[in-house]
Amino acid sequence: MLKEWGLSWGGWLDNRRGEWWLVAQLSLITAHLCPVWPAIQTYGLTTWPKGLLAAGVVVLGYGVVLAVRAFLDLGDSLSPLPAVREQHRLIVHGTYQHCRHPLYQAVLCCSLGVCLASGSLLHVALLLSLVGVLGGKARYEERQLRRRYPDYATYAMSTCAIVPALPWLDWSTLNDNVLK
């Protein structure tokens, strides 16, 4: 499966298929396993507010459901690398009819859920770092998608990139030169 996705030792060294974006993404996701910092006692609390905890669990759960749906929608076009492969086809149905990168949206929802549920400033920093990495990775991917699929620009104009109306996460209304 790893070879089918285009992963190779050479790619890890020279980033030929966007491997470094994947490393950054997986590192930040894994870092979410770190304990809460600072401790909630820093805020003068003995327990984190139940409403924020519940909201965090709901947002995290939504992120997981969105990820599963997006995985299923991608089918054989699933790849952890942002490079477009020959056998990939453009997916514009299901979760992809509303958002061009629903898996990235799902990762951000899960991260936001952890932040809300824990109140951890460390995890807020991880979320902001994920915003930067996933925004960059999506742009890398979209440059290739625009070259490969002539109708991609039209599709991009009618759907948000990752999160609607957030400048770094939605560039559907920007000039095409941003992605060249």
Helix pair 102-118, 121-148: axis angle to 10 deg? 180
pLDDT of 2 reads: 55
Q: b/e per residue, 123-147, with b = 16+ CB within 10 A?
A: bbebbebbbebbbbbbbbbbebbbe
pLDDT of 81 reads: 83
pLDDT digits 0-9 by tens, 42-67: 888 888 999 999 999 999 999 999 99
Q: Which residue has the higher pLDDT, 118 or 40?
A: 118
Q: Which of 13-27, 71-85, 136-150 has the highest mean predicted lDDT (pLDDT)? A: 136-150
**Which residue ranges form the domains of the chain, and what is each CATH number?**
46-179 (1.20.120.1630)
pTM across the whole model? 0.88
pLDDT surpasses 90 at 180? no
Q: What is the Cα–Cα distance from 72 to 115, expressed in whole angstroms?
A: 27
What value does the mean pLDDT of the chain take? 88
- Give the DSSP per-residue string, 43-69: GT-SS--HHHHHHHHHHHHHHHHHHHH
pLDDT of 176 reads: 47
